[in-house]
Structure 1
Amino acid sequence: MGEGAPEVDRADTAKAVKATDIFTADEIRRLGARSDFMGAGLVLSAWGLIGLAMAMFAAWPNPATFLVAVMVIGGRQLGLAILMHDAAHGLLFKTRRFNELAGQWLCAYPVITDLHLYRPYHLKHHRFTQQEDDPDLVLSAPFPITRQSLRRKIQRDLSGRTALTRRREQVMLTWGEAGLNWGQRWERLVKGGLVGAALVNLTLLGLLTALGYWWLYPALWLLPLATWYQLVNRIRNIAEHAMVPDNDDSLRNTRTTYAGPLTRLLLAPFWVNYHLEHHLLLFVPCWRLRQAHRMMLAKGYAERMELRGSYAEVLRLAASAMSDGGGSGGAKPAHI
């Protein structure tokens, strides 16, 4: 699990571990350095892989290439959400204007979310991780559940029912209560991100139509967003905070899950699996989290950290209950 790193005696280690307890000032400075070049490269790589997956199916249309394209694109849609998450922390680009524009228009709006609404919610999650006031606690609290319950959740995700429920709740919440006039409703739709999301998605449809492939938009954008994206987002949520061993220990109330190349392609893009390191080092861009992880192992923190060998291992743990003891969590929003 710890890749041969020396052990740390847990009894001698305080629960409220801070970055400065582990890293030197110079290490913190180097790990936290942001880059416009890297930010642009990450965004372009996500969209480039989406384009290649669409082109692959358009060139060789068959069930196998369609399935691969749906999974790759759904994984990159999660990747866009992960890059939006980095932008919410001000880490995607060094230049603030690039960070806000790219984070909103190229990452958040395409997957029908909003950077500016997400940011305060997510920062509250960091402030109260696994505590009573954590807005994401509802996502981890129901676990472990039974295999049957997990199977039902997976079926809802892959059938599109989860996406339909979330979109309906999103629209109703943004639309607001009865009695508002059209001007007020339009303002709510703009501030709620639905107008921006609609503009970006219509632009994507227009580009594909201009290329002569309008049908790729429903088949290989909306379908992955409604199915595979929902599933991998759920798995990511489970892996990050569900069934952690100590809600009060800053190195054990979140989890890092090891992932191989195929898993990183389809399920865990942009180093999202290094979630423990992200919580400890909020100032570190996603592309340096693996480096931070290796540094922590070299410093002897392996035995102190909540680490799992694979997402399959986490899912087995998530489905280990003999009977369900809580709510289903099926209709709850899955935040990054």
Structure 2
Amino acid sequence: MPAAPRARPTDLFTPEEWAPFQTRRGWVGPLLVLHCWGVIGLAMAAGILWPILIPVCVMIIGTRQLGLAILMHEAAHGGLSTNGKLNDFLGHWLCAVPVGASLSAYRPYHLSHHRFAQQPEDPDLILSAPFPVSPASLRRKIIRDLTGQTFFKQRVLLPLAAMRGAKAAPATPGSSRAPRGSPTTNDHDYEAIVTGRSILPFLLVNLALLVAMTLAGFWWAYFALWLLPMATWFPMVTRLRNIAEHACVEGSATDPFRTARTTLARWWERAFIAPYWVNFHAEHHLFMHVPCWKLPRLHRAVRGKPQGARMEVADGYLTVLRTASRGESLR
């Protein structure tokens, strides 16, 4: 069971060059969580005051729901706080549970992904293995997301199956993984595995949100400005994130500088697709304990070294989608 290839900081940097990436500030992570909920709150308020803005608000809120999942990911690496208990509290109750995930379930799953990234044992290989796909296949996946079909599968069918005692059986990388294009890879099996372990807390938190909005006199806002983004835009941008991170990156199983892709997101992509520096995924896989807010600086530092030329870097998410649906190389 070989582990993924690794790079060491000393392979690229002097101790002085690496020192800034080793420090953590305890207040930044909580501030990011506050920022994420603040953006959600402001977008909800805008949608309530000016209903004509609801379509834009749905996109903003859905992206920040992904932002909560990203900050849960940061907590899985211990990056939200230098205090372990606070890190886990923020990551679980304020980030994971509201979007139906569980930090305790996600952490071992995700760390296994880092250990075996793009190897047969990588549990996330089911997300990248089916690509490239045809443009028609990609359109169907995005339509399923935007029409709520992916959400229905994850949030309704999976809990019903769990209550009946049934077990989901996604393709297992490294053993009998389904071939490219198999239906078992179509609808975020990875999220289904993780979110399926947090059904009751997810329902309770969402009930509390509904009660709070009802008491405030805006019961409909829960459905239009929280549930609708979660059922449509959130699954779609989660899919785009998953595609961008690992799909169609050649040499990823043998070269640590090609384990993942970095996408140079424009301002509108950061606002509507990729918040909290999630687009710097190649750097995250190289040095996973560097806090997310330092990844842009790490990107510049790595690209300034000869080894950085080997990294897979896309100039935007549209470029990634063209690659994932046509198999065009970015190199």
Conserved 8 A contact 1:174-1:192: no
Q: Cα distance, 1:126 vs. partner?
A: 0.4
Could you give the per-residue CA deviations for residues 185-231 of structure 1, whole angstroms, max 9, x where no partner exists? xxxxxx93222212221222222222211211111111100100000
Q: TM-score, normalised by structure 1?
A: 0.83
Higher mean C-alpha deviation, range 195-204 or range 217-226? 195-204
Q: Which runs of 5+ in 1 are unaligned?
A: 1-14, 179-190, 323-336
Greater RCO, CA 8 A, separation 6+: 1
What are the within-5 Å matches in structure 2 for residues 1-336 of structure 1?
16-62=6-52, 65-168=53-156, 170-172=158-160, 174-175=162-163, 177=165, 192-247=197-252, 248-320=254-326
Could you give the per-residue CA deviations for residues 52-77 of structure 1, whole angstroms, max 9, x where no partner exists? 11111111112xx1110000000000
Conserved 8 A contact 1:77-1:225: yes
Question: 1: distance between equivalents of 2:29 and 2:221?
Answer: 27
Seq. identity, %: 50
Q: TM-score, normalised by structure 2?
A: 0.85
- Paired AA for residue 204 in structure 1: L
Question: 2: distance between equivalents of 1:174 and 1:132?
Answer: 27
Q: Which runs of 5+ in 2 are unaligned?
A: 167-195
Superposition RMSD in Å? 1.9
Conserved 8 A contact 2:47-2:225: no
Could you give the per-residue CA deviations for residues 41-97 of structure 1, whole angstroms, max 9, x where no partner exists? 1001111111111111111112xx111000000000000000000001111111111
Question: 1: distance between equivalents of 2:84 and 2:23?
Answer: 14
Q: Cα distance, 1:151 vs. partner?
A: 0.6
Question: 2: distance between equivalents of 1:175 and 1:112?
Answer: 16
How many residue pairs get aligned? The number is 295
Could you give the per-residue CA deviations for residues 273-324 of structure 1, whole angstroms, max 9, x where no partner exists? 00001011111111111111011122334421111111100000111169xx
Question: 2: distance between equivalents of 1:198 and 1:34?
Answer: 34
- SS of the aligned residue for 2:51 comes to coil
